[in-house]
């Protein structure tokens, strides 16, 4: 950590009666080694008017101590390419700054499915059941999709910091993660007793409060990742953008958006989704309803980066294609133009089972080419592929 210390000295100055009394600045915090007894600094002579000529003079800042390069952690990152910002010119911010900040979060917030190796009592199916339940709770309380996805991120990253977690604590960790996410994202989040109520007596408010502090400390208060939903919303908005002045106002079709989010919901319940960065996961889902040319334009990602995730996602897309398309739901106190932002729930566990069965069937080596259809991400011709950065 870099520290900057101030040297505070009491200096006597000659007071001119024609000049106003200078304001006495508060003492700056000193290191413990420099703290002196109060009796040494209060014995100052005073004028007849009762005012003190003692003025605290602030000295120039000392040079910052050089940082220790050994204190920085080393990470290896995948699927991240620094590309020109696909965000159009904005009147209220720099599009390059916004884009770089989003990319930096991909580096800062690390998720990895290998945490299951640290928890032998936890199985991938338990995580899927927990996320399915959290999606259902989110719909009951009309929570936003971003809230549910924040809870998923908090849960996975918290488990990455722990060892040998008992499966009996998963529900408490999950509902606490949703409680934290709701306080961050929602304008009127549900009360803590409501989160305890939905656990049907398994957790009380005191359990949630203790676990909340535990999670916050484990995550080091890093609570603002770019989730797959935030990346997807950006891609959809860039593709549909017609007016840069109203970039914050959604201009994409709600019907298409909820179809893509349903694909993301289903994929995220599979632990294999943590093999990919959130930006790539959202780009692959978006590509199953578009083409690679559009995906590259709105995300800047290369075909080599997106295609492994798109192939992994194909069984999930085929499963949803065999089901009726999702419909926009109405929620009390939710405006029609905001309905697509509310997290919804369907029979995800049944859909996940069907998708994983399709995955097993495709392990015979037939995964390399993607099926050719209008709703599936297909590679461009070799002459049309963008050059890698």
pLDDT 10s digits, 143-166: 999 999 999 999 999 999 999 999
Task: Name the average pLDDT for the chain.
Answer: 79
252 or 54, higher pLDDT: 252
pLDDT 10s digits, 13-42: 444 555 555 454 445 444 444 444 433 333
Q: Which residues, 6+ apart, have CB-to-CB distance to 239 below 8 Å?
A: 252, 290, 294, 297, 298
pLDDT band for position 248 (cuts 50, 70, 90): confident
All domains of the chain in start order, with CATH: 1-72 (no CATH), 83-384 (1.10.472.10)
- C-alpha to C-alpha distance for 334 and 234, rounded to whole angstroms: 22
Q: Are 370 and 376 in contact (CB under 8 A)?
A: yes
Residue 107, number of CB atoms within 10 A of its CB: 11
Please say if the pLDDT value at position 236 is more than 80.
Answer: yes
Please say if the pLDDT value at position 235 is more than 70.
Answer: yes
pLDDT band for position 222 (cuts 50, 70, 90): very high
pLDDT (0 to 100) of residue 243: 63
Would you say the C-alpha torsion 342, 348, 349, 355 has a positive or negative sign? Answer: negative
Mean pLDDT is lowest, of 49-58, 229-238, 271-280, for: 49-58
CA 344 to mean position of chain CA atoms: 20
User: Hey, is 67 helix, strand or coil?
Assistant: coil
pLDDT (0 to 100) of residue 86: 85
State the greatest distance between any 2 C-alpha atoms of the chain, in Å, as a whole number: 97
98 or 8, higher pLDDT: 98
Here the contacts of 195-202 (C-beta below 8 Å, separation 24 or greater) are 198/137, 198/140, 199/171, 199/172, 199/175, 202/171, 202/172
pLDDT (0 to 100) of residue 143: 97
What is the arithmetic mean of pLDDT over 214-241?
94
Question: What is the SS3 assignment for 236-256?
Answer: HHHHHCCCHHHCCCCCCCHHH
pLDDT 10s digits, 196-217: 999 999 999 999 999 999 999 9
Alpha helices (H) in the chain, listed in sequence order: 39-42, 95-108, 124-140, 145-161, 170-185, 192-197, 205-218, 228-240, 254-268, 278-287, 292-299, 303-321, 348-361
Burial label for 53, CB within 10 Å (0-12, 13-18, 19+), is middle
What is the arithmetic mean of pLDDT over 236-264?
84
- C-alpha to C-alpha distance for 170 and 165, rounded to whole angstroms: 8
Query: What percent of the chain lies above the pLDDT cut of 90?
Result: 59
What is the number of residues in the chain? Answer: 389
Q: Are 331 and 142 in contact (CB under 8 A)?
A: yes
- C-alpha to C-alpha distance for 1 and 348, rounded to whole angstroms: 46
pLDDT 10s digits, 292-345: 999 999 998 999 999 999 999 999 999 999 999 999 999 998 999 999 999 999
pLDDT (0 to 100) of residue 76: 43
Residue 367, number of CB atoms within 10 A of its CB: 14
pLDDT band for position 252 (cuts 50, 70, 90): confident
pLDDT 10s digits, 44-88: 344 444 444 444 434 444 444 444 444 444 444 444 445 678 888
3-state helix, strand, coil in the chain (%, to 5): 50, 5, 45
CA 345 to mean position of chain CA atoms: 21
Please say if the pLDDT value at position 9 is more than 60.
Answer: no
Would you say the C-alpha torsion 274, 279, 284, 285 has a positive or negative sign? Answer: positive
């Amino acid at each position: 950590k870099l520290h900057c210390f101030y040297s505070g000295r009491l200096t006597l100055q000659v007071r001119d009666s024609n000049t106003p009394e200078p304001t006495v600045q508060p003492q700056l915090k000193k290191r413990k080694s420099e703290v002196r007894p109060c009796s040494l600094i209060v014995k100052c002579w005073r004028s007849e008017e009762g005012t003190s000529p003692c003025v605290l003079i602030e000295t120039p800042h000392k040079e910052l101590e050089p940082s220790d390069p050994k204190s920085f952690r080393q990470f290896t990152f995948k699927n991240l390419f620094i590309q020109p910002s696909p965000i159009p010119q904005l009147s209220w911010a720099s599009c390059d700054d916004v884009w770089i900040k989003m990319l930096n979060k991909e580096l800062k917030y690390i998720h990895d499915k290998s945490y299951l190796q640290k928890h032998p009592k936890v199985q991938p199916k338990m995580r899927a059941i927990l996320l399915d339940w959290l999606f259902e709770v989110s719909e009951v309380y009309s929570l936003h999709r971003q809230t549910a996805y924040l809870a998923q991120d908090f849960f996975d990253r918290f488990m990455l910091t722990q060892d040998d977690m008992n499966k009996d604590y998963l529900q408490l960790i999950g509902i606490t993660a949703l409680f934290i996410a709701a306080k961050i994202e929602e304008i009127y989040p549900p009360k803590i007793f409501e989160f305890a109520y939905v656990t049907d007596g398994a957790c009380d408010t005191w359990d949630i409060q203790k676990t909340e502090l535990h999670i916050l400390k484990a995550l080091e208060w890093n609570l603002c990742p770019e989730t797959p939903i935030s990346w997807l919303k950006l891609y959809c908005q860039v593709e549909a953008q017609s007016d840069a002045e109203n970039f914050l106002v959604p201009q994409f079709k709600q019907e298409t958006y909820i179809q893509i989010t349903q694909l993301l919901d289903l994929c995220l319940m599979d632990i294999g989704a943590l093999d990919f960065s959130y930006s790539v996961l959202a780009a692959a889902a978006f590509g199953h309803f578009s083409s690679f040319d559009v995906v590259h334009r709105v995300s800047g990602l290369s075909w080599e980066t997106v295609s492994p995730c798109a192939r992994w996602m194909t069984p999930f897309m085929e499963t949803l294609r065999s089901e009726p398309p999702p419909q926009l739901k109405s929620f009390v106190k939710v405006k029609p133009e905001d309905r697509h932002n509310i997290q919804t729930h369907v029979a995800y566990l049944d859909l996940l089972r069907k998708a994983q069965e399709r995955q097993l069937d495709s392990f015979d080596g037939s995964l390399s080419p993607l099926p050719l259809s209008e709703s599936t991400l297909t590679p461009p011709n070799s002459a049309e592929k963008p050059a890698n950065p």
